[in-house]
Amino acid sequence: MAHGPAKGITRWLYTTNHKDIGSMYLWFSFAMFFLGGIFALVIRAELFQPGLQIVEPNFFNQMTTMHGLVMVFGAVMPAFVGLANWMIPMQIGAPDMALPRMNNWSFWILPFAFAMLSSTLFMDGGAPNFGWTFYAPLSTTYAPPSVTFFIFAIHIMGASSIMGAINIIATIVNMRAPGMTYMKMPLFVWTWLITAFLLIAVMPVLAGVVTMMLMDIHFGTSFFDAAGGGDPVLFQHVFWFFGHPEVYIMILPAFGIVSAIIPTFARKPLFGYASMVYATAAIAFLSFVVWAHHMFTVGLPIAGELFFMWATMLIAVPTGVKVFNWVATMFKGAMTFETPMLFSIAFVILFTIGGFSGLMLAIAPADFQYHDTYFVVAHFHYVLVPGAIFSITAGVYYWLPKWCGNMYNETMGKLHFWLAFIGLNVTFFPMHFSGLAGMPRRIPDYNMMFADWNMISSVGAFLFGAAQVLFLYNVIATIIGGKKATDEVWENPEGLEWTVPSPAPYHTFETPPEYK
Amino acid sequence: MLKAAGGLCARVLGFAVLLMSQLALADETESLKYNMTRGVTPVSQDIHGLHMQMFWWCVGIGVVVFGIMFVSMFLHRKSRGVKPANFHESTWLELTWTAIPILILVLMGIPASKSLINLYDTRESEVDVLITGYQWRWKYEILGEDVSFFSNLSTPRDEIEGFAEKNPNYLLEVDEPLVLPVGKKIRFIVTANDVIHNWWVPDFGVKRDAIPGFTNDSWAIIEEPGTYRGQCAELCGKDHGFMPIVVEAKTESEYRAWLDEKKAAAAALAELTEKTFTFDELYAQGEEVYNRSCAACHQANGEGLPGTFPSLHEGIAVGPIQDHIDVVVNGVPGTAMQAFGEQLSEVDIAAVVTYERNAWGNNMGDLAQPLDIYNHKQGK
Amino acid sequence: MSGGTYYVPEQSKLPIFASFGLFLTVFGAANWMNGNSSGPWLFFAGGLTFAAVLWNWFSIVISENMAGLNSPQLKRSYVIGMGWFIFSEVMFFAAFFGALFYIRALALPWLAGEGDGVDNALLWPGFANEWPLMTTPDMAANGENAIQKGPEAAMSWPGFGGLFSWLPFWNTVVLLTSSVTVHFAHTAIKNNNRKQFNIMLGVTVLLGFIFLFLQAEEYIHAYHELGLTLQSGIYGTTFFMLTGFHGAHVTMGTIMLLVMWLRSVLKGHFKPDDNFGFEAASWYWHFVDVVWVGLFFVVYVFG
Ligand code: HEA
Ligand code: HEA
Ligand code: CUA
Ligand SMILES: [Cu+2]
């Protein structure tokens, strides 16, 4: 076996090393985050004031759709897979991922899939314009021709996710160092184990629903056409059976990251380890029986409506357990507030706010007023941006010194945090108000009564975007140079990854370590 | 690290204060609306109550949870020289904070379930309205009254494109509002003709998906006369943001008068079918109809959008007139091109066909008369 | 590496070429469906690339194993991987089965006006819920002018009397038998009985081909004599989607088993205690078989 990385570009193209693949995932996701962010800025620029200024309504819809798709499938999911690739083997004391070649395959599908997806922007009829939830029949009978490319892009990126998830499960189940029992695994590993299970369970369902679309579009079937005996709402059921677990796929690994960071900077063991594990499992289980809360207004029978309302509300219980555990971990600790900790604390607060609005949405009668308004947009950006994105950012600051051996610049890190924190709240908090005031989502133009909130949101979005440029600069500067990091990096952090040198050697744990 | 922790608190508080002050202002300026409307129906008021109740629960929980967090961030920070404790478990604590949320949820869920059951009870309605969503307009049909009409956005293009000052009802105004009586139980039956739309009037607390091929229903008793505005609330394509809803709630007698007026207008229109129009009359009317009903897709200049909506400078619009009439009357099944036979009067169809064949340099020189359309519909 | 530690392979060109092949395949397919003349070319070029990569990939995996590079732990990773892959396939099928249940249990009754507050009779006057759905809502409401038409005849349960002249019954027999023969093959290789292994596996592959042949016959019958096509309303839709998707899996399974058979016959691969390549294919085969049993009841017997 080779001992160091190969030279030149082929190191990346042909690699089987989990650290290289992890880095590629992370850079890819960063690029997609910027691409999705640019789409978001087009949206925000158009919505800066009432009237049509910058883009056509049809193009606006393409921006909304591509923004959602790129952020969800291109930015957040690959970022978590990247972190999993880097950290899981190091945290469980394994030499690499279980199936290293398949690992590289999972990665390389993504650039192709997203190139294909993005190329639709230049096709006749334009890119997909039916929202990231692509409800039929808008996405079938009434879709632009590029929908076929969209469908196949989903197919192959789904295959990538499934292979990635299988790899992670095999790694965790099979490659733990001796002594690393399940209940001793770091929470990041636990949350990823459960996330991988969710992925394998629901990505095929997504593939199923796009296959049905493909059949309806090109082969004359009538899955989603009432005239032939089908039902457009069938689409929504199948989609959300995937879609709701999908949103937890985007948050469970975040829980894991934050559960690693808070104890380190509180200098106190994580409170309630076991209940954290059970809560994660409970959330994953419940995520399969709540999907129709996205469909409260489609006319479900009353019994269904009640069932899905109560099941959805239940999710607050295990999620609450997690929040309380984090607070209890901080309580009576000896806290310092380095950048990863700042992002984690903001995560806890702002994610909880997003959870609260989620709970309000879960109240079916109230959802009749909230549904498809900016209140929903506010909800999911609060759980996704300070949720998924902040946790990823926290994780990057936390582990970056281990990856590249250099310490990032703390002042710049803090500056990034505060700009992002302020920008984010200025962007997304007003959306609660415009939503409650009655502004529907996915519209390029609106009445003047929503004008003030939108103007504030747009300003915030550009501020938040600028903060991310700082992040990019920070990361590159740290990789190029900076103070050398110690092997432990932080004060007494928990976990095997801190027992190897910084930067982590190309191959770690070729002989498994004995874990306590 | 006092500064950082203090800074975080200060930021959050400062931000909250900023928002609060804006909210206080909001009462005066209508443009800063920030909360859900109470509305004018029992259901909407019920929902508003639930909403506020939920909101205060969340605020309460937030104050407790974030309060404890901020306190420990302040007291238990390393810069104060504290030594970390080492506890990491407490069964009774964990049980408590599992049980209390469950209790709170039950307290939230019970009234919500009651409201929901009430909201679903559409029995014993006094007026039934069939609402059909089209790309991008609404059709209303008062069942049992033989009244049916389309309702289109009436905001002028100039306002949208910024050439004219926007009026206060910008994008929330239509050519023909739906008129309903106050104090009666009205049942809305909602469906769609092409893609999914959603009929939403916030003041009624009614939001129902309009699903092609299926019906959904909901109800309202409007307690106060007035004009109520809403919008389509499901992404339905290009002009999703441009299909508003306007309902005028009137007294019973005014409502009756409106019904009669509508019926009279329909009868008058039917008579016009017999009439023969001049080319200029048809062309002028056709231009109006085209801009109202067709330009959204085929564009004002007839060029369409490549790949999505065909250009009318070539193809059927400059081919045999019977084919042209047929496309407009029957649409092209399975595409966005709807059957306009039911949507437009014979006169309007004749006019728009004439217009398309002769506008934008299409010099076909021929015209269609309302009677031609009538005959075509009858299968000649 | 040896001594029981995990085998981490050298750099490999395979993954990126596999990705490229896959991309080309679907990119070609999409172009093809959208009527671009380059579509089929791209599609077949991609498919060939992909197949070639897979061929290489499996050859390398096999030779690594024969070179003794694979520790028991790595072999366990393969087992786990295959297991979860099959689970993902289960969920793929679940989407289509779910669609069928939803249509039959909920959508059709609603279309026919059942349920509280449902006025679908306004839209589809005269539509009645039946299964197989011969009269679509479109036909009920629009008669001759309907676009979405149902089939002329359906493919359903002939009663016990007609059982033996009923194709799906024989398909079931064929597939169930093949599941048994593949199991025998497995026992044979465990007992180091190469000859019986080859025979039993060969029979399994043959049965796979027979199944596919019969299914092709059935489709021809449906298209030509029953007027039952992909386009015949939701009945045709679900019928062909479920059976067709299953058929695609049988094809894959048959190819997998055929390769295993050739490996054994031509190269003498597989040992009594080391035959996971074959075992994985046989698991896949059993899975495809179980799905068929589900299909048989849901689509045919109660269809
Ligand atoms: C990371 C992603 C993520 C996460 C974690 C969540 C979490 C939750 N979501 Fe969210 N949601 C989305 C992403 C996410 N959501 C997206 C993307 C959409 C829109 C999709 C689209 O249409 O495009 C959406 C939409 C959405 C809807 C549909 C709205 C509509 O379209 O009308 C609903 C309705 O019920 C909902 C509910 C919830 C609930 C109850 C939670 C719960 O998990 C939250 C639980 C957390 C808490 C409650 C806070 C902490 C708990 C405590 C402090 C304990 C004590 C609290 C109480 C007892 C109140 N979400
Ligand atoms: C993880 C997922 C994720 C993330 C991170 C984001 C991030 C952001 N989203 Fe997101 N959003 C979704 C998921 C996400 N969104 C989804 C699923 C939808 C629903 C789609 C649908 O309706 O179908 C949606 C919809 C949505 C809408 C509603 C659109 C509509 O209904 O029409 C809006 C409107 O403001 C919006 C804004 C933003 C903004 C401003 C950010 C910002 O956080 C982005 C910040 C990032 C950048 C700005 C890029 C980095 C910076 C540069 C490239 C440098 C250049 C910039 C400057 C110098 C300023 N989003
Ligand atoms: Cu109609 Cu949106
Ligand atoms: Cu959800």
* CATH number for position C58: 1.10.287.70
List of residues 6+ apart from B56 with CB closer than 8 A: none
Task: Tell me the average pLDDT across B356-362.
Answer: 87
CA-based radius of gyration for chain A: 22
Q: Are B217 and C122 within 8 A, CB to CB?
A: no
Query: Is there a catalytic annotation at residue A382?
Result: no
Same domain? C114 vs C222: yes
As a residue count, chain B comes to 380
Same domain? C129 vs C261: yes
Q: Is the CB of A358 under 6 A from ligand 1?
A: yes
C155: pLDDT confidence band, cut at 50, 70 and 90? confident
Distance A71 CA to ligand 2 centre (A): 8
Q: Is the CB of A37 under 6 A from ligand 2?
A: yes
Task: Tell me the average pLDDT across B85-105.
Answer: 91
Active-site residue, from A161, A191, A312, A427: A161
The residue type of C73 is Q
C182 found inside a domain: yes
What is residue A138's predicted lDDT score, i.e. its pLDDT?
95
Contact in structure between C32 and C39 (CB atoms under 8 Å):
yes
φ, ψ at A177 (rounded to 5°):
-65, 155
Query: Is there a catalytic annotation at residue A161?
Result: yes
Residue reference for tokens 């970022």: A79
Q: Enumerate domains of chain A plus CATH numbers.
A: 18-499 (1.20.210.10)
Chain C contact set for A201 (CB, 8 A): 87-88, 91
Active-site residue, from A244, A371, A381, A402: A244
Chain A contact set for B63 (CB, 8 A): none
Q: Is the CB of A387 under 6 A from ligand 1?
A: yes
Count how many domains chain C has: 2
Distance A65 CA to ligand 4 centre (A): 18
Q: Which ligand is nearest to the CA of A61?
A: 2
Same domain? C140 vs C27: no
Task: Tell me the average pLDDT across C255-272.
Answer: 91
Same domain? C103 vs C236: yes
Q: Are A365 and B334 within 8 A, CB to CB?
A: no
The beta strands (E) that lie in B124-283 are given as 127-134, 137-142, 147-151, 178-181, 185-192, 197-201, 206-210, 216-221, 226-232, 244-250
- Cα-to-chain-centroid distance, residue C260: 18
Same domain? C138 vs C50: no
> CB contact, 8 Å: B322 with chain A?
no
Report the C-alpha dihedral over residues A390, A394, A400, A406, rounded to 10 degrees: 120
CA-to-CA distance for A77 and A158, rounded, in angstroms? 11
Q: Which of C40, C70, C100 is where one domain is finished? A: C70
Task: Tell me the average pLDDT across C185-197.
Answer: 92
CATH number, domain of C256, equals 1.20.120.80
C2 found inside a domain: no
As a residue count, chain A comes to 516
Please give the structure tokens belonging to residue C70: 């694979």
Q: How many other CB atoms sit within 10 Å of the CB of residue B375?
A: 13
Q: Are C118 and B334 within 8 A, CB to CB?
A: no
Same domain? C34 vs C163: no
Please give the structure tokens belonging to residue A142: 């009434």
Write down the H helix ranges in A219-335.
Answer: 232-249, 252-266, 273-286, 302-314, 316-330
C188 found inside a domain: yes
> CB contact, 8 Å: B148 with chain C?
no
Query: For the sheet containing B206-210, what is the strand order?
Result: B178-181, B244-250, B226-232, B197-201, B206-210
C4 found inside a domain: no
Q: Which of C11, C138, C232, C287 to mutate to test the interface with A (most CBs of A within 10 A)?
A: C11
DSSP B3-41: HHHHHHHHHHHHHHHHHHHHHHHHTT-GGG--S----SS
Please give the structure tokens belonging to residue A119: 């190329």
Using left for φ > 0, alpha for ψ between -120 and 50, and beta otherwise, residue A21 falls in: alpha
Protein residue whose Cα sits closest to atom 1 of ligand 3: B197
Compute the mean pLDDT over every residue in chain B, rounded to the nearest whole number.
Answer: 87
Please give the structure tokens belonging to residue A306: 């009640």
Q: Is the CB of A131 under 6 A from ligand 2?
A: yes
Same domain? C148 vs C222: yes
CA-to-CA distance for A36 and A328, rounded, in angstroms? 36
- Out of A103-117, B32-46, B259-273, C63-77, the most confident range is A103-117
Q: Which of C70, C90, C107 is where one domain is finished? A: C70
Q: Enumerate domains of chain B plus CATH numbers.
A: 2-119 (no CATH), 127-261 (2.60.40.420), 273-377 (1.10.760.10)
Does the pLDDT at position B380 exceed 90?
no
Same domain? C82 vs C159: yes
B23: pLDDT confidence band, cut at 50, 70 and 90? low
C86 found inside a domain: yes
CA-to-CA distance for B204 and B191, rounded, in angstroms? 18
From the CA of A351, give the closest atom in ligand 1: 49
Distance A369 CA to ligand 1 centre (A): 16
Contact in structure between B297 and A125 (CB atoms under 8 Å):
no
Q: Considering only the beta carbons, identify the residue of C9, C78, C99 that sits closest to A16.
A: C9
> C263-292: buried (b, 16+ CB within 10 Å) or exposed (e) per residue?
bbeeeebbeeeebbbbbbbbbbbbbbbebb
Q: Are C23 and A113 within 8 A, CB to CB?
A: yes
Query: Is there a catalytic annotation at residue A132?
Result: yes
C3 found inside a domain: no
Same domain? C294 vs C182: yes
Same domain? C50 vs C179: no
- Percentage of chain C beyond pLDDT 70 is 98
| Chain A: partners with 3+ C-beta pairs within 8 Å | B, C
User: What three-state secondary structure class fits A10?
Assistant: helix
Q: What is the pLDDT along chain A (516 residues), one digit of tens a residue?
A: 446 788 888 889 999 999 999 999 999 999 999 999 999 999 999 999 999 999 999 999 999 999 999 999 999 999 999 999 999 999 999 999 999 999 999 999 999 999 999 999 999 889 999 999 999 899 999 999 999 999 999 999 999 999 999 999 999 999 999 999 999 999 999 999 999 999 999 999 999 999 999 999 999 999 999 999 999 999 999 999 999 999 999 999 999 999 999 999 999 999 999 999 999 999 999 999 999 999 999 999 999 999 999 999 999 999 999 999 999 999 999 999 999 999 999 999 999 999 999 999 999 999 999 999 999 999 999 999 999 999 999 999 999 999 999 999 999 999 999 999 999 999 999 999 999 999 999 999 999 999 999 999 999 999 999 999 999 999 999 999 888 999 999 988 989 999 999 899 998 888 888 887
Q: Considering only the beta carbons, identify the residue of A112, A203, A234 that sits closest to C20.
A: A112
Contact in structure between B200 and B207 (CB atoms under 8 Å):
yes
Does the pLDDT at position B1 exceed 50?
no
Q: Are C95 and A209 within 8 A, CB to CB?
A: yes
Pairing of strands B244-250, B178-181: parallel
> What are the angstrom distances between the C-alpha of A493 and each of A266, A398, C220?
10, 11, 67
What is residue B22's predicted lDDT score, i.e. its pLDDT?
52
Query: Is there a catalytic annotation at residue A240?
Result: no
Contact in structure between A217 and A304 (CB atoms under 8 Å):
no
Query: Is there a catalytic annotation at residue A416?
Result: no
Distance A247 CA to ligand 1 centre (A): 9
Omega prior to A137 cis, within 30 of 0 = yes
DSSP A440: B
What is residue B6's predicted lDDT score, i.e. its pLDDT?
44
Q: Which ligand is nearest to the CA of B200?
A: 3
Distance B12 CA to ligand 2 centre (A): 22
Query: Is there a catalytic annotation at residue A497?
Result: no
Same domain? C104 vs C189: yes
What is residue B32's predicted lDDT score, i.e. its pLDDT?
59
What is residue A3's predicted lDDT score, i.e. its pLDDT?
62
Domain range for C47: 10-70
Long-range contacts of B65-71 (CB under 8 A, 24+ apart): B65/A323, B65/A324, B65/A327, B65/A352, B66/A349, B66/A352, B68/A327, B68/A331, B69/A327, B69/A330, B69/A345, B69/A348, B69/A349, B70/B9
C1 found inside a domain: no
Side-chain-side CA neighbours of residue B201 (13 Å):
25
> With a CB-CB cutoff of 8 Å, which residues 188-217 of chain B face chain C?
189, 191, 213-217
> What are the angstrom distances between the C-alpha of B146 and each of B261, B262, B271?
12, 9, 17
B268: pLDDT confidence band, cut at 50, 70 and 90? confident
Q: Which of C52, C70, C88 is where one domain is finished? A: C70
Chain A contact set for B31 (CB, 8 A): 448-449, 451-452
Q: Is the CB of A283 under 6 A from ligand 1?
A: no
Q: Is the CB of B236 under 6 A from ligand 3?
A: yes
Same domain? C187 vs C61: no
Question: What pLDDT digit, counting tens, does each position of C78-94 carry?
Answer: 999 999 999 999 999 99
From A29, A30, A71, mutation site for ligand 2 pocket: most ligand atoms within 8 A of C-beta: A71
Contact in structure between C132 and C238 (CB atoms under 8 Å):
no
Report the C-alpha dihedral over residues A123, A26, A279, A362, rounded to 10 degrees: -30
